[in-house]
Amino acid sequence: MTTPHRTGAAGPRTDGPRRRRQVRGGAPLPLLVPALVGLAFLVLPLVALLIRAPWASMPELLTSTEVWQALRLSLICATAATVVSMVIGVPLAWLLARVEFPGRGLVRALVTLPLVLPPVVGGVALLMALGRNGVVGQWLDSWFGITLPFTTTGVILAEAFVAMPFLVISVEGTLRAADPRYEEAAATLGASRFTAFRRVTLPLIAPGIAAGAVLAWARALGEFGATITFAGNFPGRTQTMPLAVYLALQSDPEAAVALSLVLLAVSVAVLAGLRDRWMTAS
Amino acid sequence: MLQVTGAGAAALLALSACSSSGSDSQSGASSSGGGSGGLSGTVNVFAAASLTESFTELGEEFEKQHPGTEVVFNFGGSDSLAAGITSGAPADVFASASPGTMKVVTDADAAAGTPVTFVRNRLEIATLPGNPDRVASLKDLTGDGLKVVLCDKAVPCGAAAHKALTAAGLELTPVSYEEDVKSALNKVVLKEADAAVVYRTDVEAAGDKVAGVEFPESAKAVNDYPITLLKDAPNADVGEAFIELVRSAEGRKVLTGAGFTAP
């Protein structure tokens, strides 16, 4: 039940057999050596973290309320940011994949910009837009008394800003691969465009949405730059795990290593648990 | 050849926080350059972020006085600079914003000689231009409705603010504990916060973007700034000369002009 063929009935898939094709005989040395170097490069720092971890003082470091506060906040905010991304990101992806409009290429580039933008720049941009003195933020403040910096909502927005492009890209890719004739068939049978989207398209692209959501969630969990710039750092309200790690590094490197391990463990658990199930389906 | 070394050192500087102790082999490469009594080569100065403006000015002055030399700065949080130095970053001089962070370096036996305090810095409240909330004392910050940012206790400016508040017997809940003094100040510059407790030098450097309010409790939390030559300094002679300039009457003038006080 955990194979990509779960959704196979809904549309023709080609990646199943392709995935299983393997190189016969040994891998050629010119490929194997750099591949192993690449693997070592990515894994070595994580192993070093394990080696240098203050295992003896771990229980004490990890049971402090600040750590749990930060971890809880991280999980809540990453999840909320993922939900926000899904609610507005899936329609956006649909727009980009299904509707022809002038400047679509530019819009697509703009949507994916946060992927390459330094997160700090994202944070500054959010401040300029939604800060108390920002382009939109000043009206939010004077009309509704809403200020977003230094709030948990601010953290969620900062995380959604950097994480949503992952979801949009993933969903858009899936939509382009999905056959539009199913939607057309639904339309000829009398379904409205929205009904067709809800009843036909959504189930069809569910694996893509799930894959994008996992990526977005993981990105949101690790988000640092935009968060500390836009939302600040206050324990229990805006101090997520990455912020706690960064500040611990200033005064107590051992605690920073311990906190990093927690974040690493959570990320690995989620990615490993969901990867086989969802990621390969996209 | 010196240029190449300089470029390499500059590249290493960028990586200083995470570089390992493999760079020792470089030492001597540039100090052997001069031959005659004149100073030459690149000197790498690791200095606290709060020294950015004044040290940049002193660096230009130094290069003017000693043609053929180049001062390369790595400004940052004192803690991360100290961590970089103890991990083998190729630095000649270290100027820290607190004796505590300097101790990290001396404890690791990375300093040449005993560090000396060259300036002191005290805290000041930075408020919005014109001080619209009429902040006049540290106590005024504890009221409701005022968005105040402090530095995190893990960094020197936060530790000092904590000390001043304790001395005054005040409790203050900020909206954020910022990661360094510049980001605390910038929250006020951007008008996101109403006030921040920062160094007097930062208020000075921000010009009319903020208004400064002095408070008497700041005397209880004065930060000493120690400076030292480093043991593995690739260019010790020039480093020594730079420290001399910082401690000279001329250096003192630049530093007090920026809001520092003499030790």
**Predicted confidence (pLDDT) at residue B51 exceeds the cutoff of 50:** yes
Is residue B55 within 8 Å of residue B72, measured between CB atoms? no
Of A249-263, B26-40, B99-113, B148-162, give the lowest mean pLDDT range. B26-40
Q: Which helix (H) or strand (E) holds B10?
A: helix B2-14
Beta carbons of B187 and A246 less than 8 Å apart: no
Residues of A with Cβ-Cβ distance to B179 under 8 angstroms: 228, 233, 243, 246-247, 250
B179 and chain A in contact, CB less than 8 A? yes
Q: Which two tokens mark B259?
A: 């809001």
In order, the DSSP letters of B45-75 are EEEEGGGHHHHHHHHHHHHHHSTTEEEEEEE
* Band (A24; pLDDT cuts 50, 70, 90): low
C-alpha pair distances (Å), B187 with each of A127, A258, A263, B194: 10, 30, 28, 8
Q: Note whether ipTM > 0.90 here.
A: no
**Predicted confidence (pLDDT) at residue B79 exceeds the cutoff of 70:** yes
Closest to B93 measured CA to CA, from B110, B68, B80, B69? B110
Query: For testing the chain B interface, which of A44, A251, A252, A259 should be mutated: the one with the most B CBs within 10 Å?
Result: A251
State the Cα–Cα distance between residues B46 and B261, nearest whole angstrom.
21
**Predicted confidence (pLDDT) at residue A244 exceeds the cutoff of 80:** yes
* Band (B23; pLDDT cuts 50, 70, 90): very low
A253 and chain B in contact, CB less than 8 A? yes
Amino acid at A279: M
State the Cα–Cα distance between residues A43 and A245, nearest whole angstrom.
20
Closest to B2 measured CA to CA, from B69, B59, B67, B62? B69
Question: B124 to chain A nearest CA, in Å?
Answer: 21
Q: Per-residue pLDDT tens for B170-196?
A: 999 999 999 888 889 999 999 999 999
B176 and chain A in contact, CB less than 8 A? yes
Residues of B with Cβ-Cβ distance to A244 under 8 angstroms: none
Q: Is B195 helix (H, G, I), strand (E, B) or coil?
A: strand
A234 and chain B in contact, CB less than 8 A? yes
Residues of B with Cβ-Cβ distance to A252 under 8 angstroms: 154
Question: A74 to chain B nearest CA, in Å?
Answer: 17
Question: A252 to chain B nearest CA, in Å?
Answer: 8
CB-closest option in A131, A150, A250 to B176: A150
CB-closest option in A232, A250, A253 to B149: A232
Is residue B105 within 8 Å of residue B111, measured between CB atoms? yes
Beta carbons of B190 and A127 less than 8 Å apart: yes
Q: What is the mean pLDDT of chain A?
A: 86
State the Cα–Cα distance between residues B39 and B241, nearest whole angstrom.
9
Closest to A266 measured CA to CA, from A233, A229, A217? A217
Is residue B33 within 8 Å of residue B96, measured between CB atoms? no
Beta carbons of A233 and B83 less than 8 Å apart: no
Amino acid at A19: R
Phi-psi sector, B171: left (phi>0), alpha (psi -120 to 50), beta: beta
CB-closest option in A150, A228, A253 to B179: A228
The values of phi and psi at residue A53, to 5°, are -65, 135
Q: Per-residue pLDDT tens for A47-90?
A: 998 888 888 888 887 788 888 899 999 999 999 999 999 999 99
β-sheet with B93-95: strand ranges across: B69-76, B41-48, B93-95, B223-230, B111-121
